[in-house]
Chains A and B, each alone.
Chain A
Amino acid sequence: MSDAPDRRQRLLKTAAGAAFLVLAVVLVLIVVNSSGGSGGDATQIEGAAEVDSLLAGIPQDGMVLGDPEAPVELVEFGDLQCPVCAGYAEEVLPPIIENQVKRGEVKIDFRNLTIIGEESVPAGAAALAAGRQGRGWNYLDVFYRNQGEERSGYVTDEFMEAVAKAAGVKDLAKWNEDRKKLTAEVEETTAEAKQLGYEATPSFAVKGPGTKGLELLGTPESTGALEEAIEEAG
């Protein structure tokens, strides 16, 4: 009979140990998640100065970057939540922007192809609204540099507005008003891309004196491959 109190003591000690363990695990999970710093944080928008420096002096009209009279037009279909697009924005496109775009040989037209999730639509519309104030490409590149994990819910109004501020959008009230009206345009370009057979982002197409209309490039894997396609179209 004296076994019962001992068993009770053992059970309660086991339970207390388990409770302590679970508390520790939850605290560790929260600390690990809160110190992640993996982007998508409206309070820590980074890279705006770098983007300003890359795009300085280049004309922007809507989402078209470069001289409006440039003979070649490179079309990029992208999704702001797409990590590969962010990689292209940071690694592949900058040499083309610094050279062929700045020299007036090519202009780049960004069009939304939303494939990641529902939040890609308001994100794309926010970029278009920034484009109406001549800051579309600043918005795109700042967004990409602060991109969070896809579909993690980081694309909030607060995040988009923080990106707009960092991208130099002057009239935030107008931007806010415009972005709500521009979701239809995002859906139109997505439909256009799908009609061209594009399902993945980023996808590119090029048009120039050397092409017969819009020539589809798919997803060229390097800056060199894109430069070559631009030269052939010129």
Chain B
Amino acid sequence: MKTTSFPSEWTLRRAIAFFAALGIGVATYIAIAESGGGSPVCIAGSHGCATVAKSSYSHVAGVNIAVFGIVGYALLLASAFFANDAARLGGFAVALGGFGYSVFLTYLEIFKIEAICQWCVASAALMTIIFLLSATRLIGYAGTEERVRVRERRA
């Protein structure tokens, strides 16, 4: 198995775990700030966060989308703890869904709500990074055995 052109899976897993942990922090802040009708604080006095938080797009089926974000990032974090194909494919699938939804939300912010929430942009950026890392991990290491990779790391 030729994997020399990719970073080691161990490095990719650590990076995914790091960005997923940051994502949990961002999504948790948004969810807490919006609970009880509030909104996250935007930097430099921008009102974008309040406008986005008050928009009808901030909830799906009555649930704040930041809650879905927390769940998604937690799954991504969990996927980084296992070095098998289920974790690689599962992590990629969650990251793909999160990335796709982030693209849609960014579209809504720019063209429908006409306001930018900096925290939502931060989350979208984190999800994009995790998606790229997960895709690299899957392409580079799908089908490889954990045992083989351990030997490779030792070598």
- Flag if B143 contacts A30 (CB, 8 Å): no
B85 within 8 A of A: yes
Taking CB atoms, residues of chain A closer than 8 Å to B114 are 153-154, 156, 158
Query: Residues of B within 8 Å of A, CB-based: how many?
Result: 34
- Flag if A152 contacts B55 (CB, 8 Å): yes
A12 within 8 A of B: yes
Complex interface bits, B101-118 against A, C-beta within 8 A gives 1, otherwise 0 = 101100110011111000
Quick check: which of A21-29, A60-68, A69-77, A198-206 contacts chain B, the rest being far away?
A: A21-29
Within 8 A of A (CB), among B29-87: 50-52, 54-57, 85
Query: Residues of A within 8 Å of B, CB-based: how many?
Result: 30
B138 within 8 A of A: yes
Q: How far is the CA of A212 from the CA of B138 in the complex (A)?
A: 78
- Label chain B's interface by main secondary structure: helix
The residue that B100 contacts in the complex, of A7, A15, A22, with Cβ under 8 A, is: A22
A161 within 8 A of B: no
Give residues in A with beta carbon < 8 Å to B.
4-5, 7-9, 11-12, 14-15, 18-19, 22-23, 25-26, 29-30, 33-34, 117-119, 149-154, 156, 158
Give residues in B with beta carbon < 8 Å to A.
1, 50-52, 54-57, 85, 88-89, 92-93, 96-97, 99-101, 103-104, 107-108, 111-115, 135, 138-139, 142-145
Q: List 6 A-B contacts (CB under 8 A).
A: A15-B89, A18-B93, A151-B55, A153-B52, A153-B112, A153-B113
The 8 closest A-B pairs by CB, nearest first: A8-B143, A153-B113, A22-B100, A153-B55, A11-B142, A26-B100, A7-B143, A152-B56
